[in-house]
Chains A and B, each alone.
Chain A
Amino acid sequence: MKEWTDLALDTARAKGATYADIRIVHRRVQQVSVRNGAVDLLAEHETVGFGVRVVADGAWGFSSSSRLTREEVQRVAAEAVAIAQASATVGKEPVDLGPPEVHVDTYRTPFEIDPFGVSLEEKLALLLAADEAMRRVKGVRVARGNLVAQRERKTFASTEGSYIEQEITEVGGGIVAYAVDETEIQQRSYPNSFGRDQRTGGWEIVQAMDLPGNAERIASEAVALLTADPCPCEVTTLILGPTQLALQVHESCGHPTELDRVLGAEAAYAGTSFLTPDKLGAFRYGSPVVNLTADATVPGGLGTFGYDDEGVPAQRVPLVREGIFVGYLTSRETAVQLAKMRGEDPERARSGGAMRASGWNRIPLIRMTNINLEPGEWTFDDLIADTEHGIYMETNRSWSIDDKRLNFQFGTEIAYEIRHGRMVRLLKNAIYTGITPEFWGSCDAVCNVDHWRVWGTPNCGKGQPGQVAHVGHGVAPARFRNVQVGVMVN
């Protein structure tokens, strides 16, 4: 690979780049999915290519190609410089990346059982067993299941002298049952909605899911939801189960702490953020039990890596401490911009290591790593027992948040009414809504480390052209007071 990276960097420099980096990425994905007892997709995907990112005339340019040949590497590096020079004609302050990041290293995510070493027959048999168990439940119209294995090998090199090789292996899986009658449609997913849960690691992750062992349960829940009572419309106590809480963290903490979004880079797409720099270090984001951390080092996280895609080492960065907003997800450039804004020495500004690209054909953007709600003190049973009246909601079904990440509304697949410390009644079409700092300010309990684990979100969208990132969220169930639930009742 060094031959290619040297060629790209030398070409970029010769064309006028003051900084350049190249990523060469090979990704292999194996997908198995079934639907109602038949194979939906049995597929192998491979993509390889490279992207060259440069600063020239003080502005950014990026070009990429799937053709890894000498001529194409030179063409793409030159095109990146020409694009940067065009950018500079509508420029502002020259790009400042702060102190150099120079690392020569290799990194790979660990696994016990190589997912690509497990036969397709075994994978298919597992899914078909779960599919059959779901369809044995009367009332299930559609059963689906899918497994994904992904391995990405990437090489990063920069004109500052970095040369980093990484191998990231991910495994995901999930099942969903749809129950339909003449007036209602309900779904239940396991272990998470949107097709699957996903983590870095090996086949042992899928084994631990026990998809067939959970199939009948979720299918029965989907059918029971058809005739369940609707979620009432009231202000009440809300306890969020782990996967819904993971999405709550994702949307209302992860995205608003992306510093490029804060500074306007996403204004024309999904929007900006209410967490403006004047709030850093002083704004009460949540109650004192709320501690949020961006941790790219947590084992098994879907946002775990050795170095980000501008060659900055993986880190653990506090975002909210005892309810106070204290940190952002940053890049090299935005870390410098923030330092200058705050009157701090930009030469000491360091990126938090959150620049990630969804592939060789995309520039790195500030993305979530593993955005974690740190565990609290409660056991789950004690939390329910301590709740006189409320609703427990789990597994996301719909999600929406405004373009500053304040007003949100989430719906879940399943909910239970809590009365006198017990979950007593199944509820369907559950929804809750709120304003981000008010909601987190109402959090009075987080479950302990025994209930804490990292969940994967393999469908995080951002950027133009669109990028889908794989990110993680460590959470344990938590309780929120005085929440509006049940906007839609039918």
Chain B
Amino acid sequence: MLGEKRIRGIAERVLAASEADETEVVIFGLEERLTRFANNFIHQNVAETNVAAVVRVALGKRVGTATTNDLSDVGLERAVEQATAAARLSPEDPDYPGLPEPTPVEPVEAFDERTAAYTPADRARDVGAICRQAEAKGVTASGAFRTSVHEFAVANSHGLFAYHPTTIADLTTVVMADDSAGYAAGASWKVEEVDGVGLGAEAIERALRGRNPQPLEPGTYPVVLEAYAVADIVAFITQMAGAMLVSEGRSWMTGRQGERLMSPLISIWDDGRDPAGWPLPFDFEGMPRRRVDIVREGVVGEPVYDRRWARKEGKTSTGHALPLSNPLSPWLSGGAAGPLPLHPVMGAGEHAVEEMIASVSRGLYVTRFHYTRMVHPRDAVITGMTRDGTFLIEDGEITVPVKNLRFTQSYVEALASVEMVGRVLRRQRTGLGILRAPALKLSAFRFTGATTF
């Protein structure tokens, strides 16, 4: 871990090396340790110590970017030179909003010493407990357990400096029997809140209950979706809630703000300051993150903004800028996607999953979705498979496991048919955040195909 003092020093060296009109540096520090297991033993076990500096310079409205993980004076100066050379060649960007002045950011605690100090032996002990449980039940466990320290910092030539150290632990496990599987996952910035033994037991119970799955005709069924499946819905809905996608007509939100598109039981928001998630109190321009209500009791709310899109549309930034380049998570960078929510939450309701199941005369209980992809953006039509525990519900009870089904379903329409919302929010790790979602009961979900297992 570099610490605030060293990171501030790196930022100062970058800013001092630049003669541009404006200069910004975003610094990522990472110490990631991940233990992976399969067939009831550890088969991969890795560690990464990394840092990256993303330098953006502006000559008037001409902007260039360079990234490096060489923190020597030579390395940082070369990055500044490369960014400056790119800026000189770049045509003026009429939408460039300039870099922000220093803006107060209230810190949020999200660093846990125990998580930061978690050792390979600690993770092996926790993973070993899952594997032993599985062996005792005659099934095989696989999964991954990760404990990481991240540092995020933004500094610019107007004097802005923001720094946030944080930890995260996340564990996923899939347990397989001969013809069935079960899944469980958890995440928190405190490792003590990730209950490996409990998650292992949950996945084992699902795998054992799923033995001898029966084929089921595709069709439209009422469903009870576990929070793992709902997390996928929340992820797609919120990934299309950025101002750029909405403006370009590539979002389910386009032209629909203020309309009631979903059940009044559904509220979805993004909150980068909530300590129950994985808080990161500022965005990658150094702006404070604000809570944004994307869906409020079924009514389409607001998209999230960075400064560029706020300026274009006469709004203020909600603190959702992505880094222009992100060497540690290349798929999470700005440009193609524009501003995006990283800390989505679907509000909890008042029902237990058992109550949802009891309310279904004939339908399906789905643990999770697999390999979901956008078929059409207008109504967020998604296709994917069920996986790791799909069961038939008859007369209010789970009766038999069923073979996995393919669905092709508008997630917007799905959320319009929500009848019950779970009272428990489960935390699941996403790219740069933790997503929280409850279980849901839907009156209709469209399954369009079946597989052989």
Interface residues of A (CB under 8 A from B): 31, 33, 35, 38-49, 59-67, 72, 76, 79-80, 82-84, 86-87, 89-92, 120-121, 124, 128, 141-142, 144, 178, 180, 182-185, 195, 263-271, 361-363, 397-404, 406-407, 409, 411, 429, 431, 433, 435, 464-465, 468, 487-488, 490
Contact = CB atoms under 8 A, between A and B. Distances in A.
Contacts of A65: 48-50
A64 B47 contact: yes
A431 B375 contact: yes
Given A49-B50, A180-B248, A400-B383, A42 B377 contact: no
B120 A83 contact: yes
Contacts of A82: 120
B152 interface: no
A89 B38 contact: no
B41 to A, nearest CB: 4
A407 B47 contact: no
A185 B249 contact: yes
A209 to B, nearest CB: 19
A185 B406 contact: no
Contacts of B248: 141-142, 178, 180
Of B91, B176, B371, B374, most buried by chain A (CB within 10 Å of CB) is: B371
B376 A43 contact: no
B142 A39 contact: no
Given A178-B248, A268-B172, A429-B376, A86 B124 contact: yes
A411 B406 CA distance: 14
Contacts of B383: 398, 400, 409, 411, 487
A86 B120 contact: yes
Instruction: In the A-B complex, list the 9 residue pairs whose CB atoms are closest, starting with the nearest.
Output: A86-B120, A180-B249, A407-B451, A43-B65, A44-B82, A268-B142, A268-B174, A267-B142, A42-B86
A265 B375 contact: no
A480 to B, nearest CB: 17
Interface string B171-195: 0111010000000000000000000
A298 B258 CA distance: 55
B140 A264 contact: yes
B436 to A, nearest CB: 21
22 contacts: A33-B335, A40-B336, A41-B324, A44-B79, A66-B50, A76-B49, A86-B35, A89-B124, A90-B131, A91-B41, A142-B248, A142-B250, A178-B249, A178-B250, A264-B176, A268-B37, A271-B370, A402-B385, A403-B404, A407-B449, A409-B406, A465-B34
A72 B120 CA distance: 18
B172 A48 contact: no
Given A59-B42, A178-B250, A265-B38, A47 B93 contact: no
B406 A39 contact: no
Contact of B142 (A60, A264, A399): A264
B417 interface: no
A404 B49 contact: no
A431 B376 CA distance: 11
Contacts of A468: 330-331
A271 B387 CA distance: 10
B91 A488 contact: no
Interface of B: 32, 34-52, 63-70, 75, 78-79, 82-83, 85-87, 89-91, 93-95, 119-121, 123-125, 127-128, 131, 140, 142-144, 146, 172-174, 176, 248-250, 255, 324-325, 327, 330-331, 335-336, 370-378, 381, 383-385, 387, 404, 406, 408, 448-453
A63 B46 CA distance: 6
B86 A92 contact: no
A406 B451 contact: yes
Contacts of B38: 264-268
Given A178-B248, A397-B375, 4 more contacts: A65-B50, A89-B125, A90-B41, A124-B90
B63 A39 contact: yes
Contacts of A362: 46, 48
B245 to A, nearest CB: 10
Given A92-B40, A185-B377, A43 B324 contact: yes
A180 B245 CA distance: 12
B42 A91 contact: yes
B404 A402 contact: yes
Contacts of A142: 248, 250
A464 B143 CA distance: 9
B449 A433 contact: yes
Given A64-B49, A400-B373, A48 B70 contact: yes
A43 B86 contact: yes
A125 B353 CA distance: 58
A409 B449 CA distance: 9
Contact of B69 (A66, A433, A490): A66
A399 B385 CA distance: 12
A80 B45 CA distance: 9
Contacts of B377: 185
Contacts of A46: 66-70, 75, 78-79
A117 to B, nearest CB: 15
Contact of A47 (B85, B95, B249, B327): B327
B13 to A, nearest CB: 16
A61 B65 contact: no
A121 B450 contact: no
Contacts of A429: 375-376
Contact of B375 (A63, A89, A144, A488): A488
Contacts of A141: 248-249
A435 B404 CA distance: 13
A43 B142 contact: no
A41 B82 CA distance: 13
Contacts of B372: 400
A15 to B, nearest CB: 14
A490 B376 contact: yes
B95 A403 contact: no
A182 B256 CA distance: 11
Contact of A83 (B47, B91, B371): B47
Contacts of A144: 336
Contacts of B373: 398-400
Contacts of B86: 42-44, 120
B174 A488 contact: no
A112 B131 CA distance: 53
Given A402-B406, A406-B452, A409-B383, A83 B46 contact: yes
B97 to A, nearest CB: 13
A402 B370 contact: yes
Contacts of A39: 63, 90-91, 93
Contact of B371 (A270, A433, A487): A270
A363 B381 contact: no
B449 A42 contact: no
Nearest to B125: A89
A56 to B, nearest CB: 11
A270 B249 CA distance: 31
Contacts of B35: 86-87
Contacts of A87: 35, 42-43, 45, 120, 124
